[in-house]
Amino acid sequence: MFFCQIFGSVEGLEKSLNKILIAAVIPSLLEKGAGWFTKNFSEIAKNRRENPFWRRNVFIFETGQNIKLSEFLRSVAELGYTKVWETARRGEFSQRGGTIHIFPINSENIFTIEFDGNFIEKILGKSFASSLKVKPTVQKLNFFLAGDYVVHIDHGIGVYRGLTQTATQTDADFIIEYAAPKNRPNSPDLLFVPKKEIKRISPYLGFKKPEIHRLGTLAWNLTKKKAKEDILAYAKELLEIFAKRKISARMPYAAHHELEEELISNFQYEYTPDQKKALEEIFADMSKNTPMDRVLVGDVGFGKTELAVLAAFRAVLGGKQVAIMAPTTILADQHFEIFKKRMDAFGVNISRLTRLESHEKIKEILKKIEDGRTDIVIGTHKILGVNFSAKGGPASGWKNLGLLIIDEEQKFGVAQKEKFKKENPALDILTLSATPIPRTLHLALSGIRAISEISTSPEGRMKIETFVLPKNRKLIKEAINFEIARGGQIYFLANRIHKIPALLEEIKNLQTGAKIGVLHGRMPEAKIIKTMHDFREGKSDILVSTTIIENGLDLSNVNTLIVEDATRLGLSQAHQLRGRIGRGDKEAFAYFLFTAQKLKERAAERLEALERYSWLGAGLEIAKRDLEIRGAGNILGRAQSGIAFRIGLNLYFELLEEAISEAKGFDKKT
């Protein structure tokens, strides 16, 4: 994981206040933001006297107020605040005798309220006259935060400790901390890097805490030298594989302007400039006589599937078959529905090849594939079992496969993806990925694999409001009622299958009247698909599910996500789940709840990053903080991921790019 620690100070000191406003933990108030409450304090106080909603959901406490401690605690609990041992996050409060610490949702600060008998003696915190939306002073430049691990190309991995002076001064130096001598453990080596040398520093992207050496030793030079040697050998291997595809020729695909323009015009949304550019790049590849090997990258919900539809359509119009491989049956089924809906009017024959099909149905599909009666086959790993040439026996081979589309590329192993290339070197391949780590690798391999990126969100799509809060009944009930009242639906995530029965009981006890569906991986495949179809058709309001919904589901009416225990999710996984909502034109809300009295350090960091990086297209920042060794293993292979860990992914990619250029030059000479 990529760790980030912020050093800074909140402006202003703790001071005695006359009043404190505490808002209920409910969706309609969460979305207001701290500054709104500051600006409208007088109006809110007035409304409390006249409006039952405000009287029920906002309390104002004053110094000298006559109120029993027990009554205060009950009032705060009714607002949806969770009692913990130590207050650290919004929606929490703690008690030590007659002293209360509370973190209101309408503030950026924790307040202290001290009781003397049945009176509030003192309220400590920021003044209501000042803005509650105070941001920490963060030393940051070029995406460096104080506490980040960074790599200096000449001196190795260290810890960024900020600037010698303020960031606005031109002569400020970057301070990088290295290991300390054994006889002076509290006096680490420091490297001062002038601003003009900033290009020699890059963020360390790795998989766990890196090893930090002292300055001036040979350790870093030896590590870098060995890495270069291993990377060069790997680059030569890659070039051999891709060289075989470069010499494979196929007939170029011609444009069919009228039919393609008709298909595009039938799409319900306007293409973004990024989508148009990416489509031009894909079509340009297909117009050549050498096979395409392009990666299409875009955050969740940015329109990658639509471009896959158009690429498949051009291949079919060119007389070729198309295989579309998805990691789960649910996603394969969704693609099957989308492709059929988009292409039915054009007479394109589409088959689905998953565990949903009976043995007899699979035999029939394979026969149609061999005969060429099926244009597009959409399936899971079962597609890997279709051979590239039938040998006179049972139907088992492609008649004329021209294009392979792999969705959620990061979910497939290296060997699975390479199978197609080995068996059919002239095959066009388009891979889709929402995870930015493969993107970074593909950028490094830009001389071999082409990349198209969709970095802008579709027109009208709004940021998903993200809240990290303690779990409480009031919030959950209000969130469900809020979504159902506007005709929407809800994903309710249970991290473990065995927790689902108890969670169902909890939801029923809220008495919202919601219709509930259940989805998890141990259900029969046919029941999984039926449950999703029923949910898509609005037969249930809430889908209680495991992380099976993570990959690719696109339901525009689902605009609330509630995660019961977000501490069990990886950061990238949580970001993917968040991308399952907000696919339409309604504002979407994601509630990542936690039940632990005290969060573990890493769980807290994940949740804080999730709340902090909630803008559309934040996948890269999310991924930087959630790199895991298995992810790099899938992309690079075990040996290469070990090298990447020792020097950091950024430097690894830089050296790999150099090695590929060097290997290309070597090949030309020989």
534-538, long-range: CB within 8 Å, 24+ apart, which pairs?
535/489, 538/489
Q: Which residue has the higher pLDDT, 13 or 656?
A: 656
Low-confidence winner among 15-29, 168-182, 439-453 (lowest mean pLDDT) = 439-453
Q: What is the pLDDT of residue 6?
A: 25
* Per-residue model confidence as pLDDT tens digits over 321-336: 999 998 888 889 889 9
Per-residue pLDDT tens over the stretch 89-115: 888 899 988 999 999 988 888 899 999
3-state secondary structure of 208: coil
- Of residues 626 and 284, which shows the higher confidence score? 284
User: Residue 227 falls within a domain, yes or no?
Assistant: no
Does a structural domain hold residue 641? no
Query: Residue 218 falls within a domain, yes or no?
Result: no
Tell me, what's the pLDDT at 138?
Answer: 36
DSSP state of 353: E
Q: Are 102 and 93 in contact (CB under 8 A)?
A: yes
Mean pLDDT value across residues 173-177 = 89
Whether residues 406 and 476 fall in one domain = no
Average pLDDT of the chain, as a whole number: 80
Q: Is the separation of the CB atoms in 386 and 366 below 8 Å?
A: yes
pLDDT score of 126: 55
Find the domain containing 415 and state its range.
Answer: 257-454
Cα–Cα distance measured from residue 177 to residue 445, given in angstroms and rounded to the nearest whole number: 32
What local confidence, expressed as pLDDT, does residue 566 receive?
80
CB-CB contact of 544 with 320 (8 Å): no
Q: How far apart are CA 191 and CA 220, in angstroms?
A: 15
Assess whether pLDDT exceeds 60 at residue 3: no
DSSP H or E stretch at residue 402: strand 401-406
Q: What are the pLDDT digits (tens) for 528-569?
A: 888 988 998 999 999 998 888 876 567 889 999 999 888 777
pLDDT value at residue 415: 62
CATH of the domain at 373: 3.40.50.300
Highest mean pLDDT among 173-187, 385-399, 401-415, 579-593: 173-187
Contact 429, 421 (CB under 8 A): yes
Q: Which two tokens stand for residue 162?
A: 């900020």
> Residue 284 to residues 67, 246, 278, 298, 311: CA-CA distances in angstroms?
73, 16, 10, 19, 11
Which range of 21-30, 82-91, 256-265, 391-400 scores highest in mean pLDDT? It is 256-265
Instruction: Report the number of distinct structural domains present in the chain.
Output: 4
pLDDT band at 611 (very low <50, low <70, confident <90, very high): low
- Helix residue ranges per DSSP H, 451-518: 473-485, 500-509
Both 494 and 587 in a single domain? yes
Domain identity same for 415 and 297: yes
Q: Is the pLDDT of residue 575 over 60?
A: yes
Question: What CATH number is attached to the domain comprising 181?
Answer: 2.40.10.170
Structural domain contains residue 398: yes
Residue scoring higher pLDDT (397 or 597): 397
pLDDT value, residue 391: 45
Is 10 within a domain? no
Same domain, 278 and 375: yes
Check whether residue 261 and residue 402 sit in a common domain.
yes
pLDDT of 660 above 60 = yes
- 288 phi, psi to nearest 5 deg: -85, 170
Q: Which amino acid is at 121?
A: E
- Give the count of beta carbons closer than 10 Å to the beta carbon of residue 342: 20
Total residue count of the chain as it appears in this document: 670
User: With bands split at pLDDT 50, 70 and 90, how would you rate the model's confidence at 393?
Assistant: very low
Burial class of 594 by CB neighbour count within 10 A (0 to 12, 13 to 18, 19+): buried
At residue 635, does pLDDT exceed 60? no
Instruction: Answer with the one of 183, 203, 223 that is the final residue of a domain.
Output: 203
Structure tokens at 14: 């703790």
Q: Which residues lie below 8 Å from residue 36, measured CB to CB, with a gap of 6+? A: 106
Task: Give the containing element (helix H, strand E) for 101.
Answer: strand 99-103
Confidence grade of residue 631 (pLDDT, cut at 50, 70, 90): very low
- The answer on pLDDT for 58 being more than 50 is yes
Do 302 and 379 lie in a common domain? yes
Quickly list DSSP for 599-637.
--HHHHHHHHHHHHS-STTTHHHHHHT---HHHHHHHH-
Domain termination site, one of 203, 222, 249: 203
64 in the same domain as 192: no
- Among 36-45, 78-87, 276-285, 658-667, the range scoring the smallest mean pLDDT is 658-667
More reliable by pLDDT, 612 or 502: 502
Both structure tokens of 67:
């109120």
Residue with more model confidence, 134 or 525 = 525
Reduced to 3 states, what is the DSSP secondary structure of residue 522? Answer: coil
Mean pLDDT of 219-248: 82
Angle, CA 296 vertex, CA 256 and CA 343 arms, to 5°:
40
Q: 113 and 178: one domain?
A: no
Q: Determine what percent of the chain is predicted with pLDDT higher than 90.
A: 31
Which of 8-17, 294-303, 310-319, 635-644 is least confident? 8-17
pLDDT per residue as tens digits for the range 333-359 = 889 999 999 999 999 999 999 888 888
Single residue among 454, 489, 504 that ends a domain in this structure = 454
Residues 174, 198 contacting (CB under 8 angstroms): yes
Name the least confident of 118-132, 165-179, 329-343, 415-429. 118-132
- pLDDT of 421 > 90? The answer is no
Summarize the confidence of residues 466-474 as an average pLDDT.
85
48 lies in some domain:
yes
424 and 489 share one domain: no
Does the structure show a pLDDT above 50 at 148? Answer: yes
Higher pLDDT, 8 or 197: 197
Report the distance separating Cα 601 and Cα 604, nearest Å. Answer: 5
What is residue 430's three-state secondary structure?
A: strand
Together in a domain, 68 and 96:
yes
CA 414/CA 631 separation, integer angstroms: 11
Read off the DSSP letter of residue 387. B
Quote the CA–CA distance of 377 and 383 in Å, as a whole number: 8
Residue 1's pLDDT is what? 25
| CATH number of domain containing 85 | 3.30.2060.10
Per-residue pLDDT, averaged over 217-232, amounts to 89
Give CA separation, 263 vs 322, 339, 343, 460, 646, in Å.
17, 11, 8, 22, 49
Listed range (77-91, 285-299, 494-508, 644-658) with the worst mean pLDDT: 644-658
**Cα(235)–Cα(525) distance, integer angstroms:** 42
User: pLDDT per residue over 355-377, tens digit each?
Assistant: 888 889 988 999 999 999 999 99
- As a whole number of angstroms, the distance between CA 50 and CA 40 comes to 16
Which of 213-227, 534-548, 570-584 comes out lowest in average pLDDT? 570-584
Is pLDDT of 388 > 70? no
Query: For the chain, what percent of residues have pLDDT higher than 70?
Result: 79
Q: How confident is the model at residue 645 (pLDDT cuts 50, 70, 90)?
A: confident
With a cut of 70, say whether residue 308 has pLDDT above it.
yes
Q: Examine the pLDDT at 459 and tell me if it is beyond 60.
A: yes
Predicted local distance difference test score (pLDDT) of residue 263: 95
State mean pLDDT over 9-35: 74
Looking at the domain assignment, is residue 411 inside a domain? yes
In the chain, how many H helices and how many E strands?
A: 22, 28
Q: What confidence score (pLDDT) does residue 446 get?
A: 55
Residues 300 and 164 in one domain: no
Q: How many Å apart are CA 145 and CA 114, to the nearest integer?
A: 36
pLDDT of 404 reads 94
Residue 229 lies in a domain: no
Instruction: Tell me the three-class secondary structure of 227-291, residue by residue.
Output: HHHHHHHHHHHHHHHHHHHHCCCCCCCCCCHHHHHHHHHCCCCCCCHHHHHHHHHHHHHHCCCCC
Residue-wise burial string across 506-522, b where 16 or more C-beta atoms lie within 10 A, e elsewhere: bbeeeebebebbbbbee
Question: How large is the C-alpha radius of gyration of the chain?
Answer: 28
d(CA 220, CA 225): 8
pLDDT of residue 4: 28
pLDDT of residue 129: 36
Least confident of 220-229, 497-506, 601-610: 601-610
Give how far Cα 108 sits from Cα of 37, 63, 135, 159, 258, Å: 12, 21, 8, 28, 56
Q: Work out the angle at residue 646's Cα, subtended by the Cα atoms of residues 645 and 650, and round it to the nearest 5 degrees.
A: 65
Mean pLDDT, rounded, for 601-629:
55
Residue 507 has pLDDT above 80, yes or no: yes
CB-count burial class (<10 Å; 0-12, 13-18, 19+) for 413: exposed
**197 and 334 co-located in one domain:** no
